[in-house]
Structure 1
Amino acid sequence: MRYLRLILICGIFLSIGLTQSNAQIFPKIIKRNSNTTPVVPQERKNIELRGFDQESYLRTLSTVTDSMIFENNVNLGKVRSIIAEDQNVMIWAPTNRLVKVSEQIQIDSIWVTAYEYFSAWDSKKIDIYDFDIKSFQDSVKIRLYDPFFGYNWSMPLDQTPITSPFGYRWRRWHYGTDLDLNTGDPVYSTFDGIVRVRSYDRYGYGYYLVIRHKNGLETLYGHLSKYLVEVGQEVKAGELIAKGGNTGRSTGSHLHYELRYRGQPFDPENVYDFKEYRILNQEFLLTSDTFSHVAQARARAYHRVKSGDTLGSIARRYGVSVSTLTKLNGITSRSILRIGQNLRVR
């Protein structure tokens, strides 16, 4: 009987977990004090959460970049490079690393054609923009230079005496300003930009360069003797780009300097004081009056035939083709010209 009781007691101890290996752990229960005041998280002050307002952003940005024209449908995710000539984009704000430009460009190790990357690109022609002067009735404020954004200006030569101004001369329009120099004198880029054209015109500019600038303008440098830059090369204002000369249709060593907006030339003396060797203002306002000479140039014009004149020489003088002359005057390329005869050239 004694042994039976001992066995029963041992069984009871084992069932309630006498050893640590069979012990059961129960969660600790904490009774909540009903008198405790619940903690309410405090609202953070002076924080305003707003969605991105693209129109407001563009208005603010356009006050800084007055030389650009913005549209309501600008896609901020597809901003072109600093040297895109399209005036509907923020050309001074680069989003890609441009490695090289020629007929092809490399952007972030991807090769594409230059025409695909820029809204317009041609390294052979001067005017590629198809800009209609008649429809241009707005005013465009061009920010010529801005040290805050890192682009500046320069005069094209060390000295800038004018030998022939912009305007009508020798029965034709002269679309630039001629500046005196000696062959071999340095020629400088007048603004930051990229070389778009490097070519030769036997009956006109001779060896010449066209540079597309960050401010939306282009400059042309004619009658050069030597190139010092390549197509697609980025240049800074004041950087040496060529040496002056007397090539092409020229009667003496000089630089033919042009300013162009979307392919259309205008008087450089609207921007520079060549006699005082300075730029007139940081900004320039383009209006329809800036291109009033284009309407005059496109008016009818006639040439009085002189001894030795041919259709070819007359065509080269007025910058038209022989076929244009024959159509305007109802003649053929084999027609005999009479001295004193009036030929319509435009």
Structure 2
Amino acid sequence: MNFRYLITVSLLFVLTATTLHGQSRRRRPVVPATLHIEDLPQQPLDTLATDDPETRIIIFSNNTWRYYRPALKVRDSLPVYMQHWDTSQVFAYKSIAYEDLPSVVDLNLVKDLSGFKAPVVGSVLSKYGPRGRRNHNGVDIPLKIGEPIYAAFDGKIRYAKYNTGGFGNLVIVRHENGLETWHAHLSKLNVKVNDYVKCGQVIGFCGSTGRSRGPHLHFEMRYCDQTFDPEFIVDFQTGQLKYQTFALEKQFFNIHSRASEILEEDDDDFPLLASAEGDTASGDILERIAAAQKKEEQQTKTATVSSSNAVYHTIKQGDILGRLALKYGVSVSQICRLNNITPKTVLKLGRRLRIK
């Protein structure tokens, strides 16, 4: 009797243990073979202050972070960030004809110098303007692969993705004054569309994607899709901003600048910029840059000699730019451009201004 009882109890114990073990195995969580940080739960843990009062940094539980700029969100209602806001195509102002643009646009660039940082600093290898039978709508600056590219001014990202028209990885930043800055051939993007960026923020890294013959930054400035020479505004060699307010005349635009979305970078005369391994520009390239700079200096000297017919005016009491423009039959913006001044520049007595 006791023997049968022991056998029965033993069988029940074995069956129960087997059942529980099977349930335990079925309930064990499945752990992925490779666990990525972005797969972990992302809960905000803390915020950190930055040098910019408008910007804080949020620290998340999965060891990631991002900028937090609540003050910038109020700018969503600005017309410049609502009208002609196209995040899928490079050209956003196709409904605005060149003929409809004003003769002069006063671009208020910065309140002070803290509002600007050069996207990169370096020698301009290929300038804005005609390149053979084509137009070159920006400037090219050779760099190492992976060098950071900065936002020149505060703004909002309108376009950030790979472009099949030749730009490669392209970031377009629209700024509050309507100016857009284009950054092409990037190896990696550091922003996404509709992000707000601050001056000096890294928006991407130099590369050689798209139609490119070596790592460099192709940089453009556009207003209503129309290009103009970025060197009017930025000295890339020194990284300095030339103007606080710039009188952008309609005649500065390349009227063919938006005839095609294809980036024409493949001229046979365009030299190989640098090796794909990320080296700096080779000695041959540096020689080409030096030769181009020497040629430009010679052209400047020639232009100086040929400017013997230039008209100058010495500032006297009561002189203002508007009166001088009327007196000599020129525009205020022309006087500003010839003398590297702005309409707000204080004219000192005795200063000699070039008028024509």
Q: Which residue does 1:131 correspond to in 2?
A: 96
Pairwise CA distance, 1:297: 8.9
Aligned partners of 1:173 and 1:297 also within 8 Å: no
**Aligned partners of 2:74 and 2:251: how far apart in 1?**
38
* TM value normalised by structure 1: 0.51
Counterparts of 1:1-346 in structure 2, within 5 Å, are 99=73, 118-129=82-93, 130-147=95-112, 152-157=115-120, 159-291=121-253, 293-294=254-255
Pairwise CA distance, 1:136: 2.8
**Aligned partners of 2:122 and 2:152: how far apart in 1?**
13
**Aligned partners of 1:180 and 1:119: how far apart in 2?**
35
Residues 196 and 317 of structure 1: is their aligned pair in 2 closer, same or farther, counting only changes over 3 Å? closer
The ranges of structure 1 where at least 4 consecutive aligned residues each deviate by more than 6 angstroms after the TM superposition are 114-117, 315-319
Aligned partners of 2:211 and 2:263 also within 8 Å: no
Larger Rg: 1
**Aligned partners of 1:177 and 1:222: how far apart in 2?**
11
* TM value normalised by structure 2: 0.49
**Aligned partners of 1:261 and 1:125: how far apart in 2?**
16
**Aligned partners of 1:122 and 1:173: how far apart in 2?**
24
Structure 2: state its 5+ residue gaps. 1-69, 266-356
**Aligned partners of 2:242 and 2:153: how far apart in 1?**
14
**Aligned-pair Cα RMSD in Å:** 3.2
Give CA deviations for 1:61-88 in whole Å, capped at 9, x if unaligned: xxxxxxxxxxxxxxxxxxxxxxxxxxxx
Letter in 1 for 2:156: I
**Aligned partners of 2:203 and 2:130: how far apart in 1?**
29
Pairwise CA distance, 1:138: 2.5
Aligned partners of 1:115 and 1:122 also within 8 Å: no
Pairwise CA distance, 1:289: 1.1
Q: How many residues align?
A: 194
* Counterpart secondary structure, 1:127: coil
**Aligned partners of 1:214 and 1:201: how far apart in 2?**
24
**Aligned partners of 1:257 and 1:317: how far apart in 2?**
12
Which structure dedicates a bigger proportion of its chain to helix?
2
Q: Percent identity?
A: 35
* Counterpart secondary structure, 2:115: coil
Aligned partners of 2:162 and 2:170 also within 8 Å: yes
Structure 1: state its 5+ residue gaps. 1-95, 108-113, 299-314, 320-346
**Aligned partners of 2:87 and 2:181: how far apart in 1?**
14
